[in-house]
Amino acid sequence: MKALKFSSLAVVALAVGSVLAGCSSDVRDEPTVGDGFNGMEEELLAGELASPVSDEDIADPSLADDGTDVPDTADTQAADADDLSVQAAQTANGAIGWYKARTGSKAYEGYCEKAARLAWNRKTRHPSAIDHWRSGDGAKHSGKAPKGAFVFWNTSQYGHVAVADGAGGAWSTSVGHKIGHVKSVSYFRNYLGWKYGNSN
């Protein structure tokens, strides 16, 4: 009986040790090959919550556009070629480039916080947009957001987040149920404000 108990405990300890060491295929601390870069999508990680935006959350659908009217600065034009894949320390241009490269994709529908995190190549994770907004991860601001800032709305129980274009609009998931551009933060209802974008 003691040998059986020891054997069972050893199996449990080995299983727990494998999970803690990251050997389980179901548990990952760090993203791997499918990080959403270079056309590959990252699998859903534990703790990330689906945050679908409903049609009732859209205040003015006419504010959706293709993003071609957003003024392009010289540094944006130069960065666009390099920023389709995310570097270690992301830039505002790179975060916007991440969204542009995925325009029309439905892969992140309901996972706006995940899209914003991947666009900025962040290590810090929040379960939802509203958790990100309420966290101490950056100071809250109101008004027009600078280019690359995280912009937040109080939609659904999990909120919504996107990346500001610097001209009063944003690149976002849930624009007609896909990644796209909106001319104004008034596209979604209940704008909360913004926090500076970063790769922390």
The C-alpha angle 132, 169, 126, rounded to 5 degrees, equals 10
Q: What is the pLDDT of residue 78?
A: 36
Instruction: Tell me how far apart the alpha carbons of residues 50 and 56 are, in angstroms, rounded to a whole number.
Output: 17
Q: Which residues of 82-117 are buried (b: 16+ CB within 10 A; e: fewer)?
A: ebbebeeebbbbbbbbbbbbbeeeeebbbbbbbbbb
Enter the CATH code of domain 55-195. Answer: 3.90.1720
pLDDT tens, the chain, 200 aa long: 444 444 444 433 444 343 333 332 222 333 333 334 333 344 445 556 666 777 777 777 787 776 766 655 433 433 343 333 444 468 999 999 999 999 999 999 999 999 999 999 999 999 999 999 999 999 999 999 999 999 999 998 999 999 999 999 999 999 999 999 999 999 999 999 999 999 88
Instruction: Tell me how far apart the alpha carbons of residues 4 and 16 are, in angstroms, rounded to a whole number.
Output: 18
User: H-helix or E-strand containing 161?
Assistant: strand 160-164
Domain boundaries, given as residue ranges, for the chain: 55-195
Q: What is the pLDDT of residue 56?
A: 76
Dig out the tokens for 194 from the structure.
């913004």
The pTM of this model reads 0.64
Instruction: Tell me how far apart the alpha carbons of residues 77 and 67 are, in angstroms, rounded to a whole number.
Output: 14
Q: What is the pLDDT of residue 58?
A: 75
Q: Which of 153, 147, 142 minimizes the C-alpha distance to 175?
A: 153
